[in-house]
């Protein structure tokens, strides 16, 4: 039996809300699945596909940017080439490391306690980085030097630990390496497209035997909810970061992680 409509909608909202802010969408889906009792064989396929709904939101919102880069590549424009190079350099470390530690990552995803601890630790790290990083030297994705993009890509690999957050690792890594807040957030959005597409393709291949029995009606609803919510979140996130920085998300991580950890240990 598949999840109820309410569970499907709630999980779609959780994914859309958390995919692009530094709080870990995977961690929230793991904890939400544990809380709602949705962690059977079909939950893995569900989680993978609704993440693609959030990724589609990036493609829609930045469609002109992506098509502009594509057209620029045809004309061999320097900015388009630099944008593409920096996206590839941010993407490749995740592919290399992901292939090496895939089984270990899968094992960690089965442990909600790991997620709770990672949420707390990540929140503390964000607060420390926010207080120590002051000087920004890079103000556009195209303006990144290749070592900066590669460095961010390597730091992003930390997000393979459930609860760390892909966007959080990418953004904080970018800040440490001299990228200003808005550009760091946008780079995280852009990088999500190839990274999440590759990760989802691998996961779906691993789950291919279970796809025939998947509840595709529930998955479609979760995909749609995730897409709509992510559209709103991406726009709002830039505004919040520009005004208040990342500290509100750090405190949220610490509070949620602490509550989850206590609940998991005493239940």
Please give the model's pTM, rounded to 2 decimal places.
0.85
Query: What confidence score (pLDDT) does residue 166 get?
Result: 87
How many whole angstroms separate alpha carbon 18 and alpha carbon 150?
Answer: 25
- Residue 41, φ and ψ in degrees, nearest 5: -65, -30
How many whole angstroms separate alpha carbon 155 and alpha carbon 108?
Answer: 19
Query: What confidence score (pLDDT) does residue 125 get?
Result: 93
Give yes or no for residue 95 having a pLDDT over 80. Answer: yes
| CB burial of residue 103 (10 Å; 0-12, 13-18, 19+) | exposed
28-49 pLDDT, tens digit per residue, is 887 887 787 766 555 666 777 7
Query: What confidence score (pLDDT) does residue 139 get?
Result: 92
How many whole angstroms separate alpha carbon 216 and alpha carbon 8?
Answer: 11
Q: Which residue has the tokens 């396929």?
A: 45
Give every CB contact of residue 267 below 8 A, 6+ residues apart in sequence.
Answer: none
Q: Which two tokens stand for residue 30?
A: 């793991």
Q: Which two tokens stand for residue 266?
A: 């005493």
Query: What confidence score (pLDDT) does residue 110 get?
Result: 63
Within 13 Å and on the Cβ side, how many CA atoms surround 56?
Answer: 13
Tell me the β-bridge partners of 179. 138
168-218 pLDDT, tens digit per residue, is 999 999 999 999 988 999 999 999 899 888 877 877 777 777 666 667 788
């Amino acid at each position: 039996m598949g999840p109820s409509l309410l569970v499907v909608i709630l999980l779609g909202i959780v994914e859309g809300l958390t995919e692009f802010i530094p709080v870990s969408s995977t961690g929230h889906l793991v904890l939400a699945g544990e809380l709602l009792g949705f962690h059977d064989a079909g939950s893995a396929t569900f989680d993978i596909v609704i993440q693609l709904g959030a990724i589609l939101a990036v493609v829609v919102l930045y469609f002109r940017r992506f098509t502009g880069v594509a057209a620029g590549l045809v004309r061999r424009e320097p900015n388009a080439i630099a944008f593409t190079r920096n996206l590839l350099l941010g993407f490749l470390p995740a592919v290399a490391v992901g292939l090496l530690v895939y089984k270990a990552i899968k094992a960690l995803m089965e442990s909600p306690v790991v997620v709770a601890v990672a949420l707390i630790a990540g929140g503390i790290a964000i607060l420390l980085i926010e207080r120590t990083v002051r000087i920004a030297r890079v103000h556009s994705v195209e303006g990144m030097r290749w070592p900066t993009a590669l460095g961010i890509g390597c730091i992003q690999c930390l997000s393979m630990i459930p609860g760390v957050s892909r966007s959080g690792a990418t953004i904080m890594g970018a800040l440490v390496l001299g990228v200003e807040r808005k550009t760091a957030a946008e780079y995280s959005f852009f990088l999500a497209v190839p990274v999440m597409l590759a990760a989802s393709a691998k996961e779906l291949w691993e789950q291919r035997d279970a796809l025939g029995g998947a509840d595709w009606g529930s998955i479609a609803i979760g995909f749609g909810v995730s897409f709509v919510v992510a559209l709103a979140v991406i726009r709002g996130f830039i505004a919040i970061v520009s005004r208040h920085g990342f500290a509100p998300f750090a405190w949220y991580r610490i509070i949620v992680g602490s509550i989850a950890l206590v609940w998991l240990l005493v239940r």
